[in-house]
Amino acid sequence: MEVVSAAEARSNGARIAYDDLGAGEPALLLMPGWCANRTVFRRLAPLLSPQRRVFALDWRGNGGSDSPSSDFGEDGLLEDALAVVASSGAREIVPVALAHAGWVAIALARRLGARIPRMILVEWLVLGAPPPFREALAGMQSPETWRPTLDRLFDFWLHGEADPEVERFVRGEMGAHGFPMWSRAGREIAGAYDREGSLLEALSRLSPAVPTMHVYATPDDPGFLRAQQEFAVAHPWFRVRKLEARTHFPMIEAPETLAAEILAD
């Protein structure tokens, strides 16, 4: 079994914990979404590391990283990612971002330029935030509605999936975060959509363009896939792959399939 090196970086003095395994560049930087620990990549990372060096981080306030004493936002997550990159010594980095960590991936591309040769985005509403999701983001920011909003969101993400690891991660680990972190997530995700528009719009503004692949399992909507395929025809640097999985967490539910897509990119 491969030895995973537990490492740490310093982000404005805060300790940021990350796993470091494998060898070979460009390295893969696995970034969880808001309110998610690096344990979401526990099944995926060992499948990638025989061919690449792999980092999986815990954002500030999550998992093994320090909890800050003051509020923070997406800029703080960017600082954490940059700290891991600097600590690792890797020159070329491919961000592999779950959901809204994709905004951090785009910020990394803007900051590091050619050191980001491509990006892999997993399970994201790339066409923009539909009204029901906007309502959920608002509900997450209210002390009265955040918990029932979260329960509905968890049910939607799980889709009745029987894999106990998916259930444990979502309801156990993500559900352990309280109102401060979830309200922060709602605020920052909504703010990113207000600022950037859709992911596809944000990607289109990168100059030069960064080759990007979106890999997803949900939603199971032909229109969602077709819109991305049409975008890919007009923008050859973009690709989309639809996975045969049921939940919002294919890195837990179908890690072999996701690893194959990442390594083939």
Do 120 and 96 contact (CB within 8 A), yes or no?
yes
d(CA 238, CA 235): 6
Query: What is the model's pTM?
Result: 0.96
d(CA 254, CA 81): 26
CA–CA distance from 13 to each of 9, 112, 187 (Å)?
A: 9, 22, 25
d(CA 237, CA 212): 6
Length of the chain: 265
CA–CA distance from 101 to each of 58, 105, 109, 155 (Å)?
A: 12, 7, 13, 21
d(CA 109, CA 196): 15
Domains and CATH numbers, the chain: 5-127+198-264 (3.40.50.1820)
Do 252 and 43 contact (CB within 8 A), yes or no?
yes
Specify which residues 215 forms β-bridges with.
Answer: 122, 241
Kindly state the DSSP code that residue 38 receives in the 8-state scheme.
Answer: G
Active-site residue list: 248
pLDDT of the chain, 265 residues: tens digit per residue: 444 578 899 998 889 999 999 999 999 999 999 999 999 999 999 999 999 999 999 999 999 999 988 999 999 999 999 999 999 999 999 999 999 999 999 999 999 999 999 999 999 999 999 999 999 999 999 999 999 999 999 999 998 766 899 999 999 999 999 999 999 999 999 999 999 999 999 999 999 999 999 999 999 999 999 999 999 999 999 999 999 999 999 999 999 999 999 999 7
Positive/negative CA dihedral, 229, 36, 92, 11: positive
